[in-house]
Amino acid sequence: MNADNTSTVRPERTERLKGRVALILGAGTSAPGISIGKASSIAMACAGASVAALDFNVDTAQDVTQEILAFGGQAIAYQADVADIVAMQAAIERVMQDFGRIDILQINAGIGRVGGPAETSLEDWDRIQKVNVESILIAAKLVAPVMVKQGSGSIIGVSSVAGMRYLGYPHLAYSVTKAAVIHFIKMLAQQYAGDGIRANTIVPGLIDTPRIQKNVAKVFDANADMDKTRRARDQQVPMGRMGTPWEIASVATFLASDDASYITGTEIVVDGGLTGKFV
């Protein structure tokens, strides 16, 4: 696998997830490049899964599915706002019509706005809460019964190290909701363990995704210069570099597979050593 997040090099083809259907929420990208959702969709398709790629922007979901179809994988794009239960119910009904089952649910959609209490409007707070946390409730309401009926399933939440510690700048609403993701997934794991459903959270560190340019670049450089931003973020990490979406996608594929059959109710931190730093 190539570590360059803009690379078209995909993970190797395997049958690790053969016969399974993966529903990826937030499968598209918010700007040019490869997001965690897109990388996870491609990685799971490379592992043999059929992918239901769902995004608010259906064009970006279709970009993902076209890339998967181009290398012989199976994928269909769906459009829905993950915070809208009516839209999500309709989309998941279509997924069930198309594929007949859902074996993997990756809850990847997430938004944020830099700022502390003074800079965070109630409107922004509510929207970030809905997309980052309420979407998990909606997805669980709709997908968990499907997995219970099947007697198996893997639910994967995507949090952030911002939900575990302060990263040097105020990112209040995002950080609080990402902390909630970890605990929410723990609760799902306990409730559904007896039904053959596993639920775990990936906690990415500083990852080089399109979201950086849209949301946090100005924290590091007033002109949002991406070269300066990348250098500054690289220097924060003990390993000397940000992670790539592919490195998160490989963990997602592991958690979705039988290799993780005895792992539930926990989180895997993928951060190059960041959260282990004293300062």
d(CA 185, CA 199): 6
What residues act catalytically? 174
Q: Could you count the other beta carbons within 10 Å of the beta carbon of residue 148?
A: 15
Q: What is the DSSP letter of 262?
A: T
Rg (CA), the chain: 18
Residue 152 CA, distance from chain mean position: 21
The length of the chain, given as a count of residues: 279
Half-sphere exposure of 144 (CA within 13 A, CB side): 19
The set of long-range contacts for 10-15, using a CB threshold of 8 Å and a minimum separation of 24, is 10/42, 10/43, 10/46, 10/71, 11/42, 11/43, 11/46, 11/47, 11/246, 11/249, 11/250, 11/253, 12/46, 13/46, 13/47, 13/48, 13/71, 14/46, 14/47, 14/48, 15/47, 15/48
Kindly write down the DSSP assignment for every residue of 208-254, as one continuous string: --THIIIIIHHHH-TT--HHHHHHHHHHHSTTSS-B-HHHHHHHHHH
**Residue 242 tokens, joined:** 């940000």
